[in-house]
Structure 1
């Protein structure tokens, strides 16, 4: 299953440049305790708080963040624990980075942990996509994941950040499917732009 590679070199070039250039913008908390609600399943008709797509209708890694009493105004008032839900890891980081600039930082944020699920890859009209895993126990703290960015496996929004709690799993995936390895604090606006997310 070989995806259409058009445009991947330019995205990869941007990603390599962003990481190699030591971009200083940092996503998420600095050192300290990250405590908050446990993740929830995202298979009950939830829509993405970045792009409004129904989460369960799409492949790839998903995310969620909990803001508690510091919930951004864009979230519904009745959302438990100031929760935000995302159809992709790229949508999650776009929302989190934008809200951090506005002074809202999540107490804790989660992404799909592909070290703990039996994922599959499939061909979708010439593009390789990775399976979605929406159950609560498929998530890990974003700070604890090593991401493979811009591999030949895509998610809901195309180029993706596929997270693994075991760095060896991330390296093995990268070896087979290409891409760049990134830690949580290396995911910046420039990286998202390289993945095709307009911010």
Structure 2
């Protein structure tokens, strides 16, 4: 089914972010660095295993991610992995891995996640849970800094509650209006936020 844009929506992004900022005061440890400089996103073929949890990426719905570490690859990555790339079955695994390795002194050059503004996504019922389609082509990825995420919606991904990203803030607002959730940017994602997703 083609996703639809909704013109009526709930709280503005500014209101949601202000509320989160107040609730997160003093709890900003674990904010991510990283940037935009690094290799371009690459397509995944689905056979890869998530470097955070070990699940096979192509077997699950929802947003996926990848991060490039170059010569500063975390020791957990296999030797010889080109560009020190790590790949992930979900956006929550992406952020958990990035945060954990940044705390250990390994900062990614750049990282990407699925951009649902760039694809015709589908929602489907999976045993009573609404899940969103996965998209593994390089063209479906956007830099984490360019995404507005919908967190805690009633739509799930590979690891349950998810961070569903859109390069269009309007698309994110429309999705949240229809499916619930809060709007976040890359800089808002902390350990506390991930913990609130049950991750």
Structure 1 CA distance for aligned equivalents of residues 153 and 80 of structure 2: 37
Deviations 1:3-55 (A, max 9, x none): xxxxxxxxxxxxx98643233231233xxx62111111112411000011000
The alpha carbon displacement at 1:119 in A equals: 0.4
Q: Matches of residues 21-32 of structure 1 in structure 2 within 5 Å?
A: 21-22=23-24, 23-25=27-29, 26-29=31-34
Contact map agreement 1:70 1:105 (CA 8 A) in 2: yes
In the alignment, structure 1 segments of 5+ residues that lack a partner are 1-15
Q: TM-score, normalised by structure 1?
A: 0.87
Structure 1 CA distance for aligned equivalents of residues 76 and 87 of structure 2: 12
Q: Does 1:34 align with 2:36?
A: yes
The alpha carbon displacement at 1:57 in A equals: 0.4
Contact map agreement 2:73 2:84 (CA 8 A) in 1: yes
Question: Which moved further from structure 2: 90-99 or 38-47?
Answer: 38-47
Q: Does 1:62 align with 2:64?
A: yes
Query: Which of 97, 119, 122 is matched with 2:121 structurally?
Result: 119
Q: Which residue of 2 aligns with 1:181?
A: 183
Question: Which moved further from structure 2: 35-44 or 120-129?
Answer: 35-44
Contact map agreement 1:18 1:191 (CA 8 A) in 2: no
In the alignment, structure 2 segments of 5+ residues that lack a partner are 1-17
Deviations 1:46-95 (A, max 9, x none): 10000110001000000000000000000011100000000000000000
Q: TM-score, normalised by structure 2?
A: 0.87
Structure 1 CA distance for aligned equivalents of residues 133 and 22 of structure 2: 30
Which portions of structure 1, spanning 4 or more consecutive aligned residues, are displaced by more than 4 angstroms? 16-19
Q: Which residue of 1 aligns with 2:141?
A: 139
Contact map agreement 1:65 1:85 (CA 8 A) in 2: yes
Structure 2 CA distance for aligned equivalents of residues 121 and 171 of structure 1: 17
Structure 2 CA distance for aligned equivalents of residues 95 and 141 of structure 1: 16
Query: Which of 85, 88, 99 is matched with 1:86 structurally?
Result: 88
